[in-house]
Amino acid sequence: MSQLEDEFLRRLRATFKVEAEEHTQALSAGLVALENSASGSAAESETVEAVFRHAHSLKGAARATNFSHVESVCQALESVFALWKARQLVPTAEHFDALHQAVDAIGRLIHAPDGTPPAASLTALHETIHRLNVIAGRASAAATVATPRPTVAPEVVAATSTETATREHTLSRPAAVPANESVRIPGERLDRLLLQVEEFISLKQGATERAALLQEFGPQLELWHARWRGLQPALRSLRNQETTPEHETLVQFLEWNFDYMRKLETKLRLVGKRAALDRYELGKRIDELLSESKSLVMLPFSHLADLFPKLVRDLGRDQQKQVELTLEGTEIEIDKRILEEMKDPLIHLLRNCVDHGVEKPEERAKAGKPSRARISVSLATLNGDKVEIVVTDDGRGIDVSRVKEAAVRRGLLSAQEAETLSDDDARDLIFRSDVSTSPIITEISGRGLGLAIVREKTTKLGGTVSAQSRMGGGTTFRLTLPLTMATFRGVIVRTGGLNLVIPTAQVERVARVKRSDIRTVENRETISFNERAVALVRLRDILELRQPEPPALAAQSPLSVVIIGTQAATVAFAVDEVLHEEEVLVKSFSRPLSRVRNLAGATVLGSGALALILNTADLLKSARRAGSPAKSLSAPPVALEETSAKSVLVAEDSITSRMFLKNILESAGYRVTTAVDGVDAWATLRTERFDLVVSDVEMPRLNGFDLTARIRADEKLASLPVVLVTALATPTDRERGIDVGASAYITKSSFDQTNLLEVIRRLA
């Protein structure tokens, strides 16, 4: 194949992957909708026809680009959909599981090199295709005796509002758009275009500043005129004196100077007016261009929300829970970059709702609730430039007492502080890292990271997140976000010789504080704000700037402070100088500076000076660490104490798995001892001390469940963390792990060494 043909095939496959993602998303949404439709209804027939067409179109595109495995799966799907369309198949819950599994397989294949899965996945792929073929074959043979499918909704349902459902049905049909009215453009090209347009913002700010500078000449020229008028008597006296060549030259120069300055004043005023007009026109054109460019990257929330029904369905079935998901307001358009940033946080929230919030059917029945739980995700615009995302479930609610216990256990609060903490403040602790009320860590939740990620991402985008809950009455999460993320208003401060930008949305107040008003509370310096004590820290210390404080600030002069507040905390930061507020353009860091503590990016101010944009979430975390007892504003940073390596016992009967886990842990700095089975591990625990145990479940002589039970029953070992790493992935097995007292339960099918190390870091 020639180089030209190779390049054509590469571009063709890139186009295919985009198209294939659209088809797989439509297939997933269609299958979830079919689970909610009554058998034989018009809605069911219409949706079956739509998913049939998507499978057929995807098969043809896969054939054209040599994605043979995708073609094979689509062929098997077509066989099932054809029988369904002909009413020769009444699908069961197991059939839906097989269909979803096939669509998931397609999603993995389209991202695999040349559409070829790894050798280890080929067997599973063939089993999926065989399962679909068996369904189609059995359905044909049993068509004459098939019984109608019950009209009761299945365990997990995805319902949308009327307008959203109408939109989805419309999108599921082949689009009849003339070729000359639409064009497919890669998203990264649009992103680059928007970034280039955003650069004009600095030009607009520069024009504004120069126009303002020219306007300043007016008062200065008025001052000159006043001084000139005051010199008129002296000039007249000079003219009346005896004339000499020197006097004549001086008088002529003064008269010429007056005429010259008047002409210069006229020109300056004209330039000033033109500069103001240019600033207005340039600003208007740039704002219009930026607005139009932003609209190119605005996507309806459905672009992200369409993923949620299948996610909730799969989570609910995995945990044997009945869940109904409702989506509203998905037609609202949001900046594509915000959608990308919020994808993981919203998935974390939904997983949290299913795992923590929603009860199992029998538990809901005891509480007098419907067996099927309800989760809703709704959107609404606020003030034209913000959007509110509300995620609600009608589950058990947040147990405030358990949240306090988790915070005390992780050392975030003392027992005395927990007792005096209000319910609202206690609920806010769920957004802190390492706080989880789950009795066991699994691949779904329990690490205490999910909601911390939600707050971190939301705050980074200039938004807020809060939670309301009532025991037994469910939980509501409210996220407020900007519709676009190109620019924001920022307070410009100067400290340590640097220009710094603090997002205005997180600034509660800018003030000047007398040094005599600083109070020490529990060995921490504070100031009074809204009749409460607020921690006071020096921004230069938080940023670890070594430049000494200006002498004027080191004296008893008032302090300039910026009070930053979020749901997590409120802290006053002392700065050298507060300059002004202006609109700034965010310029993110590139590798290797993709994540810098306390910083969110950089910008160029209207004056042309470079300024660093501060990450307020990081600042508050750093302030909490710096604000420990006995540390004042001027106290030097305290070096962290080095900790000795933790000791871990690995119990695993497979020598391959045993060595694999040992290498992972030793590479991370842990001291590792191995045991060949549960009995060997138990004997080792009786003679040596360990900080944590990692154990398989299925082992000879003594399995992992029984080993964990023995550890919990032993007075000396009862508090020892135990992490079970096993191939047993059913809900029953996980519940047994909870019953015997395991600290974490990780299945090998979803094993990730990063997650394992994070779990061990938390527990050890």
pLDDT at residue 138, as a whole number: 52
Which residues fall within 8 angstroms of residue 140, CB to CB, at 6 or more apart?
83, 88
In whole angstroms, what is the distance from residue 255 CA to residue 264 CA?
14
Q: DSSP labels for 83-149?
A: HHHTT-----HHHHHHHHHHHHHHHHHTTSGGG---HHHHHHHHHHHHHHHHHHHHHHHTGGGPPPP
- Which residue from 216, 87, 195 is spatially nearest to 142, judged by alpha carbons? 87
Residue 453, both tokens? 């990620």
Q: What is the pLDDT of residues 379-394, one digit of tens each?
A: 998 877 789 999 999 9
User: 136 vs 7, 69, 145, 723, 725, CA distance in Å?
Assistant: 39, 19, 15, 42, 37
pLDDT at residue 145, as a whole number: 37
pLDDT at residue 709, as a whole number: 92
The CATH classification of domain 487-626, taken from the options 2.50.20.10, 3.30.365.10, 2.40.50.180, 3.40.50.720: 2.40.50.180
Q: What is the dihedral of CA 729, 732, 735, 736, to 10 degrees?
A: -100
- Which residue from 332, 300, 334 is spatially nearest to 481, judged by alpha carbons? 334
pLDDT at residue 155, as a whole number: 40
Low-confidence ranges of the chain (pLDDT < 70): 1-5, 8-9, 38, 40, 114-115, 119-120, 138-184, 242-243, 433-450, 485-486, 520-523, 546-556, 566-568, 588-595, 606, 625-644, 749-752
What top-level class would CATH report for the domain 3-149?
Answer: mainly alpha
- Which residue from 360, 385, 383 is spatially nearest to 370, judged by alpha carbons? 360
DSSP state of 354: I
With helix as H, strand as E and coil as C, how does 698-755 read? Answer: CCCCCCHHHHHHHHHHCCCCCCCCEEEEECCCCHHHHHHHHHHCCCEEEEHHHCCHHH
In whole angstroms, what is the distance from residue 597 CA to residue 582 CA?
24
pLDDT at residue 176, as a whole number: 40
**69 φ, ψ (degrees, to nearest 5):** -70, -40
Statement: the pTM of the whole predicted model exceeds 0.75 = no
* Cis before 186 (ω within 30): no
Q: What is the pLDDT of residues 650-661, one digit of tens each?
A: 999 888 788 888
In whole angstroms, what is the distance from residue 465 CA to residue 479 CA?
4
- Which residue from 604, 564, 600, 599 is spatially nearest to 582, judged by alpha carbons? 604
pLDDT at residue 154, as a whole number: 38
In whole angstroms, what is the distance from residue 66 CA to residue 59 CA?
10
Q: Count the residues in the chain.
A: 764
Which residues fall within 8 angstroms of residue 642, CB to CB, at 6 or more apart?
none
What top-level class would CATH report for the domain 647-763?
Answer: alpha beta
Q: Are 707 and 724 in contact (CB under 8 A)?
A: no
Q: Are 432 and 452 in contact (CB under 8 A)?
A: yes
Residue 279, both tokens? 């600033």
Residue 15, both tokens? 């186009």
Residue 278, both tokens? 């240019």
| Fold entry, domain 300-398+437-482 | Heat Shock Protein 90 (3.30.565)
